[in-house]
Amino acid sequence: MQLKIDGKLIALSEAGWLENLDEWSEEVAYGIAKNEKVELTDEHWDIVNTARKYFVNNNVVAEPRKFSKLMKEKFGADRSSSKYIYSLFPYGLVKSANKIAGLPRPKGCS
């Protein structure tokens, strides 16, 4: 799988995960989001940016419970539940939001 961004081909795995994490950009995120059938809004970007910041600071993808706690601390209880995240990313944090954020595919994730 590939994305074409500004004339450059970006390699994706068969499941749509970014092959080279260093190639991530907002434009790449929009391309992956389109493949995931997600239209990015400011609320989506809050999740994407929080996930990316956690990864950069900890060198690991946040587990869903940890991520909900981070979202609650930053944005409040209304924007931290699994239900809220699934309302924005139909395949959830692990399979969709992290993919759009250009993070590595977690072990055990298809």
Residue type, 47: I
**Which domain CATH number covers 23?**
3.30.1420.10
DSSP 8-state symbol, 20? S
Question: Phi and psi dihedrals of 10, rounded to 5?
Answer: -110, 120
Could you read off the pLDDT tens digit of each residue along the chain, which spans 110 residues?
A: 899 998 999 999 999 999 999 999 999 999 999 999 999 999 999 999 999 999 999 999 998 889 999 999 999 999 988 899 999 998 887 789 999 999 998 766 65
The per-residue pLDDT for 93 is 75
Identify the domain containing residue 26 by its residue range.
2-35
Verdict on whether the full-model pTM lies above 0.85: yes
101 is catalytic: no
**Of residues 72, 92, 106, 109, which has the active-site annotation?**
109
pLDDT at position 110, please? 53
Query: What's the number of domains the chain is made of?
Result: 2
Whether 46 and 31 share a structural domain:
no
